[in-house]
Structure formats: structure tokens, C-alpha cells
Amino acid sequence: MTLISNIKGPFYGQPVVLIPNKLYFACYDHAHFPTSDEHCVYIPIQDYTHYDPFYDDFGPYNLAVLYRFVKALDVLLKSREKRKVVCCSTSDERDRVNGGYLMAGFMIFIAGYTAEKAYSLVASAQPPTFIGFRDASIGPPIYLLNLNDIIKSLEKAVKLKWFDFTSFDPDEYEHYERVENGDFNWIIPGKILSFCGPHNKSYIEDEYPYHAPETYFEYFREKNISSIVRLNKKLYRASRFTDAGFEHHDLFFIDGSTPSDDIVEKFINIVDNAKGGVAVHCKAGLGRTGTLIACWMMKEYKLTAAVCMAWLRVCRPGSVIGPQQPFLIDRQQFCWNLKKRSSSPVKYRTKTGDIGTRVSTTTSSPKITPKHVSTATSTSTPPTTRQTRSSRTPNKFDETAINEFGKSQGDRLLERKAQQQHHSSSNVIIPSPIPASSTRSNNNNNNPAIRYTSATTPIKQLKVSATKRMPAIMSRTPATNGAATRTLYPINNNNHHHHHTATTTTGSSSNTTLSSSKKSNGNIPVG
């Protein structure tokens, strides 16, 4: 008997043995998944995951989606279930690579594998070759992240203590990433937070609730954030933050563009010399914000640009856009060299005012070559390219352009994010200040055990009942206390790349159930 005996085909690509006689990964043409039997349990991955695209981006799934799936799978494997568990993906190229990402995440977080070993396992599903992950730009991709780089970012996050699977709180993550609850995410817990740019006052426009600076004060103080860095034009007075005791720095450069080396160095000095955490924003907190954060990550940890971009997108999907991607590739060595010069950094302080100049967006970009085209049908056009790092080709889409409605890249991204998150929501309320969770201790640099990890776009429209008070600036339902049973219900849909609604009851993460009301394998009880 072979290791894949009793696992039903026909397969699309190659079935993968992750844990012999226990866990497998297999792809099936057009979602024709086998029915569970006495030998195997078949888990349709796309029923338990969701990604809200800005445009044609499709992943990787954010940190909370990754955590919930891995946690549920771990509980299932530790239950009394004796059958082989087969995690199934459709033949859609986007589904396959996201499925490989989830499986590798399980092997790193639960099985303790290295990124190299985890990738070698999931890579055995090829051919067809896994496609790369594209950015959230409106035009065709000019650079794609390889699955291997995404997996490496997960390994680095564990090693550098940015992510702890045993203490990560997906409810907190999904709460604060929502536009009505502040739209912010920790990238480096306790050190760097990415958030949407505040406005002069709190108001709603194009379904997006903008927040005044005061909205963030309570949370920032409790989490020991000492410095604010603004990268976009002035939409509020810096004194709103400085009068409240925060340092405030302006490093302006054009929306959708790349920073000068001078701005990169000034940003790195700000982060290195901050007394506490640093909260960084541009207009949407995605492109310019992610680009400078990646520069600091490369300098501080000597990570590759690709790994930095990968972790940023796991934490905050949509980060680093268009020409900012090849810019980071080209500035990788420059940022690494800054580490050698920063042993005795000079304290950098700014006064309120714009710093920096417009940066050319004609930076060369990675070559795009044809790849295997997905066989699955979708109204969202999948990427038809595969990354080659060594050569470049220009992109005709100008990410700095203002459209006919006067919207910049950041404006468009904010509008898209609000539309995706609020597709099935209503009654948006003007926000009040964001308090930090009352059950978390105050963050300080002397307590490395306290970490706050975040990312973006939850499993569509979660309805949560938390085991602790989850403060919200726009809470629609009162928080509750007391243990509850978490059940991970599938997102029942015909095309999971678009809008759908899932409901979950959350509480003790040790009681997690994968169940399906539509698939023929029925419920999979855990416990």
C-alpha cells in the first residue's frame, strides 16, 4: 500500500503527503471533491477561508484567517478522528497557491518545520507550477511574490517573536483591522503599527469612516506608542498629537510613488530612536506606509525585500503597491548597508512640515513571463504571469495618477476596503475613541512576552462574542464575558473570491469545529 492509498482521485497536480497516514493536501479539478468515507475526511479549504480583494489581488490570506484554519485543523488532527484528513483545493491557480500557503503555515506553526522543509513538501504538488501573489494595484502586476517568500516570512515571524501561535488573538486582530474600529494593524508587535491616515474630524465618506487624531489616543497610550509618522499631505494639525504627548514627524512623498533615500534614512532614524512604538500612516496605510516599514525591516533584520513584503501583506493585505515593489528590491542592499552605519545613530527630530520630494515612478520592474492559466472560471481575472527576478519591464499604469473623480490611489483603496468589509453591514456610526483591550497588560519594552499581532480583512463579516471585553470605537453589539464554543462554519458560496457572509460564534479556541452544510462530507465534529 502507498502513502496515498484510499485517497480518492482524480487529482489536479500531485497529492502531497504532509504527515504520513494523517494529513494530506490535494487539488481537484473544478472543485469536484470526493465524499468522506471510512478511510478519509475531505476538507474543502475554500469553504473555511476568505480574502477580500481590492482589485485582482487574491492573497495570501491574512494572519487571522491563517490562524483560524490552522487551529481548527490542529484540533481535528488531535481529536479521536482516525481517518486520513485530506485538505482539498480547487484547480483554480489562486486557490492552489493559497492552499499551499495554509498547509505550510500548519507545518511551521504546529509541526515546527523550517520554511525550507515546509515549502519542499507543498511544492511537491507541482506541476502545474504555483503562481505568484500579485499586489493590490488597479493595473496588471509588475511583480509577483513567490509562495516560498511567503512561507519564509512565517518562519521569520516565529523566530523573531512577531507571532506566537499560542497567544495570538484573532478576535482582537479582526476587530481593530476593520475600518470602523480604527483600521490599524501591528506589523512588528510593540514596535511598528500601520494605520489609516487620520483626518481633521471624524466623518464618513464613500462608506469609509475617517477618524480624528483623538480617536487613537487611548489605544496608542496603552500600547506605549510614542511616535507618529505621517507620509501623506496634511489632513490634520500635527499639534493634535504633540499636544497629547506624542512625537509627530512628517515625511511626505506622493501617493503611489517611492521615497527618496533621504526619506528612507530619516524614517529609519525615527524608528530606531523612538521611545516606544511607532504608528505610521499615509492615506490608506498601505503603499507608502508599507514601503518605509519594509525598508526598516530590511535594515534591522537583514531580511530580503520579498520576505518583508510578504509579512506586510500577511499582516495587512494590500501593503506595498506597484512600483514600490521593485523599488524595495533595488534598495535591499542599500538598507542592509544602513545597519552597519547605525551603531551610534544620531537622534532625529522633526518639526511639523512636509519633508521629501516627488520620486519618479519609472523605476524598472520585474519581467513578466507567461504561466499556466487557471482552469477554474471566475469573474475576477487571475494573474497570467510568473515572476522572474533578474530582469525588468516598465509598467504603463501610473500609480500616482488622480482619476476623473479626483481620487488618488489611497482614496480608491480606502473606498474599496470599506465596500468589501461593509458589503453586508449597515448603520455605521461616527467613531468615538479607541480604547485598548482591558484584559491586556500595558505594553512596555521590558516585557517581551506581550505581543500584539494584526493583519487585515477577516473571514467575511464575523459576528463575534468574545471571551473578554473587546473594546470597539463603533461597537454594534455589547461585549460579553464567559466561555463559549467556537464553531468555524464554512463560507457557502459559488465563487469565494467575491462577497459572502459567514457567521461564527467565538470563545475558547480549543473547541473548534470544521463543518459544512453544503458539501457532501457533512459535519466534522471535533473534541
Retrieve residue 176's grid coordinates. Answer: 481593530
Provide DSSP, 496-519.
TTS------B-SBTTS--B--SSS
C-alpha cell at 166: 499560542
Q: Assess contact for 361 and 399: CB atoms under 8 A.
A: yes
Distance CA 359, CA 382 (A): 30
Amino acid, single-letter form, for residue 306: A
Q: Which residues contact 446 (CB under 8 A, 6 or more apart)?
A: none
Close Cβ partners of 362 (under 8 Å, ≥ 6 residues apart): 323, 394
Residue 232 amino acid letter: N
Instruction: From 134, 115, 112, 521, select the one nearest 325 (Cα to Cα).
Output: 134
Grid cell locating 427: 448603520
Q: Centre a 10 Å sphere on the Cβ of residue 441 and count the other Cβ atoms it contains.
A: 10
Question: CB 164: neighbour CB atoms within 10 A?
Answer: 14
**In this structure, which amino acid lies at residue 145?**
L
Q: Find, among 40, 15, 205, 185, the residue nearest to 100 by Cα.
A: 15
Cα angle, residue 509 at apex, residues 105 and 112 outer, rounded to 5°: 30
Element (H, E) at 242: helix 239-242
Task: Single out the catalytic residue among 40, 196, 282, 295.
Answer: 282
Cβ-in-10-Å burial (0-12, 13-18, 19+) of 299 comes to buried
Residues 6+ apart with CB under 8 A from 409: 255, 256, 283, 284, 287, 321, 399, 400
Rounded CA-CA distance 502/50 in Å is: 9
41, β-bridge pairs: 85
Give the dihedral of Cα atoms 477, 480, 484, 490; nearest 10 deg. 20
- Is 295 an active-site residue? no
Phi and psi dihedrals of 104, rounded to 5?
Answer: -65, -40
Output the nine-digit C-alpha cell for 197: 491616515
> Are 392 and 364 in contact, with CB atoms under 8 Å apart?
yes
Q: Are strands 277-281 and 366-370 parallel, antiparallel or unpaired?
A: unpaired
Q: For residue 24, what are the β-bridge partners?
A: 17, 86
Residues classed as catalytic = 282
